[in-house]
Amino acid sequence: MNAASSKLTPRRRVLTGLGVSLTLPLMESLMPRHAVGGSKTETPQRLAVVSVPFGMVVDRFHPTAAGAEYGIPETLLPLKKLRGDFTVFSNLDHDVRGGHAANHTLLSGVKSTERAGYPDGNITVDQRAAEIVGHRTRYPSLVFWNDGMSFTRTGVRVPAIAKPSDAFRLMFVDDSEEQKQFNRSSLSSSGSILDTVLEDARSLNKELGKSDQRKLEEYFSSIRETEKKLQISESWIDKPKPQVSDPAAQKISTGSLDTKIGSTNVEIWLDLMFLALQMDSTRVVSMAVKNGNWGLDGVTDSYHTLSHHGQREEPLKQLAILEEHLMTQLARFVGRLKETTQHDGQTLLSTTQVLFGSGLGSGSRHSNTNLPLILAGGGWKHGQHIDAERKQPLCNLYLSMLQQMGAEQDYFNRSLSTLTGLV
């Protein structure tokens, strides 16, 4: 879509993706300038996170040389054509220990059991981003496939949408009038309960000591956060969702592919992430990959089992197939963002930061150090390998990413500053 065009773009313009056709709702960027008061439409900032649970074979993931002239390692070869659109990192982590039990710290740097020691708890970078831009879309954030990686500032684990059909219907199928009325009633009841709880809590506040008053203020913050989410949800009830016009989409919306996706598991979830961003259903979307072998040719064991390869030839061979599949699908996702033009002429990738990573470095060693990390898009100068040499915490990168999205803050959890080397 090109905002320079003086013609009115038809509202029911058809977009294609995931084998379906979608029609756009009425949006300012599809209208001539005089129809929106002549104001310049804001360019949205977005974040997409793809996390894997069992690390990568680090010797095949991390380049051996730093800088722009690094040689692309074996695992990253599917991304070769996009070399100028991403940065790969080495020796970045959170300095935590715990193996699988610390995997959930990938996006926060803080163990859930230690959140009380940090001003913002163990909020993850995606949920902090949702606080910044989430009020502009129907869904402040979406979490797909596997949960356990996203946490709010109050320590609540954000549940994932586990079935593609549920995600598709949530984003693209309008609720019935009966469902809309039920939603209104539910939101109204929730608001009444919050009012009562706040009233009781305020009366209790007078009887508490300073330490307990601070805890209660954290509770008030949680209530206010919930109130904002209720208000946002209510404002979207009667606004139409992008509608499906292709009958072939019923294969997804009816759930017929939910349990028999096979090797298209990763592909379909990434396609749903792409559509979520393209259609502006949300500007923050995360996907955590589930365990399995996804029906890939040559792979008989699960991702988890293979990650404990112990340098044995056969598991490493199968793991190479699985990791190549992950990188191929990531390259396809980034490529689609790069090929999609927004109303202002910029590509969707230029305003979408795509983070790929794992809370484990080497799954075989249960190590939480030297994490496999890639950042693509988002307006950064890419095409390089940054070796942090364990002199910077990973949260420095997250602080840089949040500032890129408009956050006015000088720390994020365990950060010391923004990340040196990222331009």
CA distance 416 to 423: 17
Between 23 and 154, residue with greater pLDDT: 154
pLDDT of residue 183: 55
Buried b vs exposed e over 332-359: b needs ≥16 C-beta within 10 Å?
Answer: ebbbbbbebebbbeeebbbbbbbbbbbb
The pLDDT assigned to 11 comes to 36
Same domain, 153 and 196: no
Q: Looking at the structure, do residues 226 and 274 belong to the same domain, yes or no?
A: no
Give Cα separations from 45 to 21, 48, 85, 346 (angstroms): 25, 11, 17, 12
Q: What is the pLDDT of residue 406?
A: 94
Average pLDDT over residues 371-390: 96
272 and 387 co-located in one domain? yes
Could you tell me if residue 393 is inside a domain?
yes
Task: Tell me how far apart the alpha carbons of residues 95 and 110 are, in angstroms, rounded to a whole number.
Answer: 10
Give the lowest-confidence range in 39-48, 92-101, 133-142, 393-402.
Answer: 39-48
Whether 187 and 164 share a structural domain? no
Residue 421 belongs to some domain of the structure? no
User: What residue has token string 């940090």?
Assistant: 118
- Residue 423 has a pLDDT of 87
Mean pLDDT check: name the lowest of 2-11, 78-87, 91-100. Answer: 2-11
| Mean pLDDT confidence for 114-133 | 96
Burial class (CB in 10 A: 0-12, 13-18, 19+), 192: exposed
Contacts of 173 (CB under 8 A, 6+ apart): 241, 243, 244, 253
Q: How confident is the model at residue 263 (pLDDT cuts 50, 70, 90)?
A: confident
What's the pLDDT tens digit per position in 189-213?
555 555 666 666 666 666 667 667 6
Q: Looking at the 3D structure of the chain, how many domains does it have? A: 2
373 by DSSP, 3-state: which? Answer: strand
Q: Residue 210 phi/psi, 5° resolution?
A: -60, -40
Are 285 and 384 contained in the same domain? Answer: yes
Lowest mean pLDDT among 6-15, 128-137, 361-370, 395-404: 6-15
Residue type present at position 419: L
Residue 256 has a pLDDT of: 78
Low-confidence winner among 14-28, 212-226, 393-407 (lowest mean pLDDT) = 14-28
Query: Residue range 185-189: average pLDDT?
Result: 58
The CATH number assigned to the domain holding 344 equals: 3.40.720.10
- The pLDDT value given to residue 264: 81
Q: Report, as an integer, the average pLDDT of 372-389.
A: 97
If asked whether residues 186 and 144 sit together in one domain, one would say no
Indicate the average pLDDT of the chain. Answer: 83
Q: What is the pLDDT of residue 247?
A: 62
Look at 38 and 226; give whichever has higher pLDDT. 226
Q: Name the residue type at position 187.
A: L
User: What was the pLDDT predicted at 182?
Assistant: 56
Shared-domain flag, residues 274 and 318: yes
Task: Please give the distance of CA 358 from its chain centroid, rounded to a whole number.
Answer: 13
Q: In what order do the strands lie in the sheet with 142-145?
A: 142-145, 284-288, 46-52, 352-358, 373-377, 86-90, 384-387
pLDDT at 254: 81
- Residue 334 pLDDT exceeds 90: yes
Q: How many CA atoms are closer than 13 Å to the CA of 130, on its beta-carbon side?
A: 27
Backbone phi, psi, residue 266, to 5°: -65, -40
Task: Decide if 127 contacts 108 (C-beta within 8 A).
Answer: no
Q: Is the dihedral of CA 358, 362, 363, 369 positive or negative?
A: negative
257 with 281, same domain?
A: yes
Per-residue pLDDT, 392 = 95
Domain residues for the domain of 233 are: 175-239
First to last CA, the chain: 28
Residue found by looking up tokens 């506040």 in the block? 205
pLDDT of residue 33: 38
Regarding whether 372 and 321 lie in a shared domain, the answer is: yes
Q: Identify whether residues 359 and 317 lie together within a single domain.
A: yes
Q: What is the pLDDT at residue 40?
A: 45
C-alpha span between 268 and 9 (Å, rounded): 29
